[in-house]
A and B are shown apart, each in its own frame.
Chain A
Amino acid sequence: MTDPLTQTFTPSPEAVDSSVGDEIVILHLGNGTYYGLDPLGTRIWAMLKDGHQPPAIRDAIVAEYEVSAEVVERDMRAFLRDLLAHDILVVPPG
């Protein structure tokens, strides 16, 4: 299985999000799935939407949350795989 931390992603054009406070709910218009993100997931999602890729996101999270890179990488892999499985993140063409 490819390590998602080494891949390039973009939010699916079918995914629309709505935020309240520091949490976000995403709706995938194509498959009707709702997906709720906690504050950390919301932060990662915002950076993905801004075009940042996993290595840069990892570095930012390590700095902002003062957590070890190993912990962040583990959690990010699970998070990114989950978003990919629900087609909320896609690999851009080309």
Chain B
Amino acid sequence: MSSPTVYSVAGYGEMILNEPRMAAFDAALRQAVTPGCTVIDIGAGTGIFCLLACKYGAAHVVAIEPADGVLLLRDMARANGFNDRITILQGLSTDYRPERPADVIISDLRGTLPLFEHHIATIVDARDRLLRPGGTLIPISDRICGALVQSEDCGKYVEQPWKTNSFGLDLSAGHRFAANHSQKTYLKPEALASSTQDIAVLDYRTITDPNLKAKTVFRPNRKVTPNGLLIWFDLTTAEGIGFSNAPGQPELVYGQTFLPFETLQSVGPEDRIEVTLSATLINGSYEWSWFSDIFRGTDERPVARMRQSGFKSHVLSPARLTVKSNAHVPQRSAKHELDSFILSQIDGKRPIREIADALSARFGDQIETPQKAHDLVAALIGRYE
């Protein structure tokens, strides 16, 4: 599983100040919390939702967060008189085994889109295992929306420097990789080249599948040459409460996602572009693909087909991928010997200093300085702790 994303304290602060995000979560929490209830905050960050839950009367709040930033909640809970009601668990909610389920579970685990890392699996696990029957999930759903866009600024990275550059060099080999690279952006309504279409709804009260595959038809709103697709989410924290991340709405920390088109075609209101958008969770991160067919008028055969994927934006070495194959036979190297030795020295009694000294004594021909020995030991141990 990949490591969860880590934010800076300044980043957390930006999220707390971001409106209408906080107002929507705050209103849903105020409505859901009843005196004496238990609340779990998954991905608590520095704990703003936990503090609010206490303020609204929760008797017990569990802050679950793998990053060190959650330790800041200790001071803030004390400063607000909530330290006897907040329990901090630094780790993953999937490892949490409470004595009884919670009344309310709140989370905001998205990236630019709600299909992000293990968000869906985390919500499913929490809903099924940590929430009492009839309990409240916040948020309850996300609607993924999209539109065609024509934005020179947004799509510049696709064309430059690969197709045009000031050096007179042929860099065109990079173009097809750039054309498959999605970008976080924030566009205004003027960039839209079609009306907004609903792509999918993620209802957290019932969802089980972390993957998405949906076909959407976009019709240009004028004669235009769209250079990509823009997707964003509309969030519902509780019935009748939420916010939209759409162009024209207040700019939020999440941004929107721009998916470029690798070929540019002029289209008009009589034409249509059918896009099959898929998001597949692989090894803890999503691979996005967008397969687009351009149709003229009522024609059934497309005039252009594009098969694009974030996977195609990466320059990958088959040789490097081979080592991950089930059939690959790894060979023991000097690095393996160093790591094996370090691990063999861990007995619950020796400090890093002693292990590093033993490493230097054994592998002095490979490790130039005591500092390097210390760094190697600390780095390897850090992977386990």
> Using a CB–CB distance below 8 Å, which chain A residues touch chain B?
16-18, 20, 23-25, 27, 29-30, 32, 34, 36-38
Contacts and interface: CB of A to CB of B under 8 A. Distances in A.
Nearest to A18: B312
A25 B278 contact: no
B1 interface: no
B315 A36 contact: no
Interface of B: 177, 278, 280-283, 287, 289, 307, 309, 311-312, 314-319, 321-322, 324
B311 A32 contact: no
A27 B282 CA distance: 10
B177 to A, nearest CB: 8
A37 B317 CA distance: 10
Closest 8 CB pairs of A and B: A36-B318, A32-B282, A16-B309, A18-B312, A25-B316, A29-B280, A27-B311, A23-B318
A38 B314 contact: no
Given A16-B307, A18-B312, A29 B318 contact: no
Given A20-B315, A25-B318, 20 more contacts: A16-B289, A16-B312, A17-B312, A18-B311, A18-B316, A20-B316, A23-B318, A25-B316, A27-B287, A27-B309, A27-B311, A29-B287, A29-B309, A32-B281, A32-B282, A34-B324, A36-B318, A36-B319, A36-B321, A36-B322
A56 B318 CA distance: 26
A59 to B, nearest CB: 26
Interface of A is mostly: strand
Contact of B278 (A17, A18, A24, A29): A29
B307 A20 contact: no
A37 B289 CA distance: 21
A38 B282 CA distance: 23
Interface of B is mostly: mixed
Contact of A18 (B283, B314, B319, B324): B314
Contacts of A38: 318
A72 to B, nearest CB: 21
15 contacts: A16-B307, A18-B315, A18-B316, A20-B317, A24-B318, A27-B287, A27-B309, A29-B278, A29-B280, A29-B287, A32-B280, A32-B281, A32-B287, A34-B324, A38-B318
A74 B319 CA distance: 24
A55 to B, nearest CB: 27
A59 B281 CA distance: 39
A29 B307 CA distance: 13
Given A16-B307, A23-B318, A29 B312 contact: no
Nearest to B324: A34
A42 B307 CA distance: 18
Nearest to A82: B327
Contacts of A18: 177, 311-312, 314-316
Contacts of A24: 318
A37 B283 contact: no
Nearest to A37: B318
B375 to A, nearest CB: 32
A20 B11 CA distance: 37
Contacts of B314: 18
Contacts of A30: 280
A29 to B, nearest CB: 5
B129 to A, nearest CB: 25
Contacts of B177: 18
A30 B317 CA distance: 21
A77 to B, nearest CB: 17
A20 B321 CA distance: 13
